[in-house]
Amino acid sequence: MLSVGLFAALSAGGDALRSAWRAGLAESWQVHGCDFASGLVFVDGRCQRAADVVSPPELLDASAAGFAFGVATSAYQVEGGVREGGRGPSIWDTFSHTPGRIPSGDTGDVACDHFHRFEEDFALLAALGVSTYRMSIAWPRVMPDGRAINREGLRFYHALFDRLLELGIEPLVTLYHWDLPQALEDEGGWRNKSMIVPAFSRYAAAMFTEFGPKVKVWTTFNEPATFVFIASDLGIHAPGRCSHREICAEGDSLREPLLIAHSVLVAHAHAVAALREQSGAGGTCERCRVGMVNCIKLAAPMNASRDADWQAAQWRMESELGIWTDPLYFGDYPRSVVLASGDLLPPFSAEERSLLKGSADYFGLNLYTAQFAAARFSRPNAADMGVMATSSAELNGEEGDLIAQWRETTGAAAGPREPVGEPGPTGWLFAAPGALRTTLNWVAQRYGQRTEVIVTEAGWAGMRESSELPLRIALDDQDRIAFLFEYVRAAVQARVVDGVNVSGFVIWSLLDNFEWNNGFGQRFGLVRVQYDDGLRRLPKASFSWLQRLISNATAQHTGARALLRRTAQRADQSTSAQARTLRASTAMLGALALGTTVAAAALSVRRAARRRAVAMGVADGVGVAEWSDGDEQLARGLLPMCDGTDDPLERMRHSGAD
C-alpha cells in the first residue's frame, strides 16, 4: 500500500523534474569540453578564457538589469575571537576541540580573525562593488547561554552593520549558521522541541528588534539539511551524534534527524511570526523580509530513458529539498516524504501548518553540484528509494555494490560513464552549472513562477591552492573564474530565458575560511587568507574578475537607460538629417524599452549589439564596432556617458561621418 501511494506521488513528480530538466539542461549541462581547470568556457561557439570574456553575454541583456551580486561568510567560519567580547561556547567550539573530530585538528578559535579585522574585510567588499553581503550572527556572541543578552555582542554587530550601510552594501543576515550555544545543546538542543522552539523564537525576535532598523533581509536557517543530517545521521558535524558507535558516543541516525527537522521547521515558523509582528509600518523591523536558505545537489536520472530513475531523482529532490521548502509554501511536508517516513516524522499541528504556510518572502538556494539518482527497482519502494552516485567511477567505490545490485535487479545498462560535472578537489563538488538552472526551474515550477529566488551560495574550492604551492599559482584561480562564470550564466539564463524570478547571486565566499570538518584545507575564497603569515588577505584572480563583471553589468544597464534618455533629448533638439535618423532610432529604442528586452538592442554584447543595431538602422558602419573590442572597453565607453561627460551617440555620428 505504502509503495503504491508513493509511486503515485512520485509519478507526477518525475514529470515535473523532467520539464525543469528540459529548461535547464538542454544547453549547459557539462562545460562543453573546454578545459575547465585552465579557466576556459564556451562562448560564441568556442572555448575562451572566462577571465578574458569577463561577463556571460546573458548578463548584459537588459532584462538582467537589477540582478544583484554579493559574497558570503558565516560567523564561526571567519570571526574567531571565540572567547572575546563575552561570547559563550557553541557546539562547534566543543566539537572542534574534541580530539579526532576534525582530522586536521583545526578550530575556529581564530579563523580569519574577522572579529578584529572586519574593517579591512569590508574594504575588500567595497572594492569588489557588491551590493549585498551575506553573513550570520553568532547566537552565542549575542546570547552566551542562548537566552541572556550580551550587550557587547550586540555592539559588535551594530558596528558591522553601520559600516556596511556606510558603504552602501545591504546586509543579508542569517540567524543560525550552525553555531548553537552549547548551553542549549546541553538541554537537548534541536531534539528538545519544547525547549528549543521558544528559545530560538526569543533569539530571533530580539535580533529583529535590535537590528531591524539596519537589516532588512533575514534568513532564519542556513541549510537545515546539512546541519541536521550531517550532524545527526552521519555524525561528522557538531554536535556529532549518530548510531555508529565507533564515530559517535551518542545518537540515533534513524530517529533524531527527522525529529530535529520538525523542530527546526516549527522554530522557523515562530520566528517568522515574530518578524511579521515587527515588520509592519512603524514597526521596529519595518519592511523586513525573511526566508530560509536550503541546499540541494540536483538529482539527475542516471538513465534518462528509465521512468523509475526520474522518480528516484524526484524523490531525492522532494526528500532533501522539498522536506524543508514545501512546508514554507504549502504548509506541510511533501506527500512522498510523509508516506516514506511513517511515524518517524512528527506531523505538524493545524496551528503550525498555518504559521508555516507563506512563511518565506524569498527562496534562498545554495546550489553547488549534482548527483545521479537511480532506482534499484522498477517501481520506487519506500524503504529503498534508490542510490546516488557521481560517476561510474563510483561503481568501484562505496556505492559500488548498490549500483551493481541495481543493474542486476533492473537489467539496466551501465550507469553514466561521464562524471556528473567537472571534478574538483573536494570529492563532492563537481562543477555542473546546468544543475543550477534546472534547480531554479524546478523551484519555479513547484512554488510558482513569481517566487523570488536568491542564489544565496555557489562556490568552488580551488584546484591549485594548497599551502604547498607557490603563491603565484595559488592566486591564479582560473578554475574558480570558469566555475563562477558558468554558474552566474546559468542563473541569469534561468532569469532572462526561462522567466524564473531569480534576483541575485551570492558567492561563497569572500575569504578562505574554516571549512567545517575539513578545517582550513579547502579554500573557497575570492581572497586568499595566509594562515601561516599573519592572516594576510591576498585577492585572487577571481576577485578582480568579479570586480570587472560587476562594473560591466552596472555600466551596461545604466548605460542603456542613459542612452534612451539622451537620444530622446537629442531628437527633440535637432532638425538635421542625422537627427531624423536619431529620432527614428529613439522611437525604436522606446518601443523596445517598452518590451523590456530593450536598449540591449543597441548596447548588448558584441556581435548581438552590432547585429541588432544594424537592424534598427542606428548603426550600419557607425561605430558600434568600437564598443565590441572587449567588455572592459565597453564599460569604459559607457561609464562617462552616465555622468554626461561623453556621448557615444555623438561618437557614433562622427565615426559614421568619417
Give me the active site residues, please: 223, 457
**Amino acid making up residue 291:** G
Q: Is residue 203 within the footprint of ligand PNW (CB under 6 A)? A: no
* Closer residue to ligand PNW in complex, CB, 36/524: 524
Candidate segments 95-103, 138-146, 218-226, 274-282, binder of ligand PNW by CB under 6 A: 218-226
Among residue numbers 480 through 509, which ones bind ligand PNW (CB under 6 A)?
Answer: 508
Q: Is residue 233 within the footprint of ligand PNW (CB under 6 A)? A: no
* Closer residue to ligand PNW in complex, CB, 455/593: 455
Q: What are phi and psi of 402, to 5 degrees?
A: -60, -45
Candidate segments 245-253, 364-372, 387-395, 495-503, binder of ligand PNW by CB under 6 A: 364-372
Min separation Cβ 578 and ligand PNW, Å: 55
Q: Is residue 366 within the footprint of ligand PNW (CB under 6 A)? A: yes
DSSP secondary structure string for all residues of 378-410: SS-BTTB--EEESSGGGGGSTTHHHHHHHHHHH
Min separation Cβ 429 and ligand PNW, Å: 7
Candidate segments 42-50, 103-111, 361-369, 601-609, binder of ligand PNW by CB under 6 A: 361-369
Strands (E), 296-359: 298-301
- The CA distance from 604 to 224, in Å, is 40
Candidate segments 221-229, 304-312, 498-506, 550-558, binder of ligand PNW by CB under 6 A: 221-229
Q: Is residue 371 within the footprint of ligand PNW (CB under 6 A)? A: no
Q: Is residue 187 within the footprint of ligand PNW (CB under 6 A)? A: no
Total site size for ligand PNW, rule CB under 6 A: 15
Residues of 572-592 as b/e, b for ≥16 C-beta within 10 angstroms?
Answer: eeeeeebbebbbebbebbeeb
Closest to 74 in 3D by CA, of 530, 519, 521, 513? 513
- The CA distance from 580 to 506, in Å, is 45
Give the CA radius of gyration of the chain: 26
Dig out the grid coordinates for 569 from the structure.
533629448
Dig out the grid coordinates for 290 from the structure.
525573511
* Closer residue to ligand PNW in complex, CB, 371/604: 371
Candidate segments 362-370, 470-478, 488-496, 564-572, binder of ligand PNW by CB under 6 A: 362-370
C-alpha neighbours within 13 Å on the C-beta side of residue 422: 28
Q: Is residue 50 within the footprint of ligand PNW (CB under 6 A)? A: no
CA distances from 559 to 60, 613, 644, 646 (A): 11, 15, 11, 12
Given 369, 390, 551, 552, the residue binding ligand PNW (CB under 6 A): 369
DSSP state letter for 254: T
Min separation Cβ 257 and ligand PNW, Å: 15
CB-based contact 156:571 (threshold 8 Å): no
Min separation Cβ 369 and ligand PNW, Å: 5
Min separation Cβ 375 and ligand PNW, Å: 21
Kindly report the CA angle at 408 between 404 and 412, in degrees rounded to 5? 95
Closest to 636 in 3D by CA, of 559, 562, 575? 559
Q: Is residue 297 within the footprint of ligand PNW (CB under 6 A)? A: yes
CA 618, 619, 622, 627 torsion-angle sign: positive
Q: Is residue 93 within the footprint of ligand PNW (CB under 6 A)? A: no
Q: Is residue 428 within the footprint of ligand PNW (CB under 6 A)? A: yes
Q: Is residue 438 within the footprint of ligand PNW (CB under 6 A)? A: no
Q: Is residue 319 within the footprint of ligand PNW (CB under 6 A)? A: no
Dig out the grid coordinates for 631 from the structure.
567588455
Q: Is residue 237 within the footprint of ligand PNW (CB under 6 A)? A: no
DSSP lists the bridge partners of residue 43 as 46
Dig out the grid coordinates for 132 from the structure.
549585498
* Closer residue to ligand PNW in complex, CB, 297/528: 297
**Cell 520566528 found at:** 271
* Closer residue to ligand PNW in complex, CB, 119/428: 428
Q: Is residue 515 within the footprint of ligand PNW (CB under 6 A)? A: yes
> CA torsion 430→432→438→443, rounded to 10°?
40
CB-based contact 483:475 (threshold 8 Å): no
Candidate segments 78-86, 96-104, 363-371, 536-544, binder of ligand PNW by CB under 6 A: 363-371
Q: How many CB atoms lie within 10 A of CB 543?
A: 23
Min separation Cβ 346 and ligand PNW, Å: 25
Closest to 72 in 3D by CA, of 139, 158, 132? 132
* Closer residue to ligand PNW in complex, CB, 176/627: 176
* Closer residue to ligand PNW in complex, CB, 496/506: 506
Given 524, 543, 545, 627, the residue binding ligand PNW (CB under 6 A): 524
* Closer residue to ligand PNW in complex, CB, 58/515: 515
* Closer residue to ligand PNW in complex, CB, 29/524: 524
* Closer residue to ligand PNW in complex, CB, 113/515: 515
Contact string (CB under 6 A) for ligand PNW, positions 246-285, x = contact: ----------------------------------------
Given 368, 430, 483, 520, the residue binding ligand PNW (CB under 6 A): 368
Q: Is residue 106 within the footprint of ligand PNW (CB under 6 A)? A: no
CB-based contact 405:376 (threshold 8 Å): yes
DSSP state letter for 62: G
CA 109 to chain centre: 27
Q: Who's near 126: CB < 8 A, 6+ residues apart?
A: 167, 169
Q: How many CB atoms lie within 10 A of CB 444?
A: 22
Q: Is residue 226 within the footprint of ligand PNW (CB under 6 A)? A: yes
Among residue numbers 445 through 474, which ones bind ligand PNW (CB under 6 A)?
Answer: 457
Q: Is residue 427 within the footprint of ligand PNW (CB under 6 A)? A: no
Q: How many CB atoms lie within 10 A of CB 474?
A: 20
Closest to 178 in 3D by CA, of 328, 77, 79, 78? 77
Min separation Cβ 613 and ligand PNW, Å: 43
* Closer residue to ligand PNW in complex, CB, 223/476: 223
| List of residues contacting ligand PNW (CB under 6 A) | 74, 77, 222-223, 226, 295, 297, 366, 368-369, 428, 457, 508, 515, 524
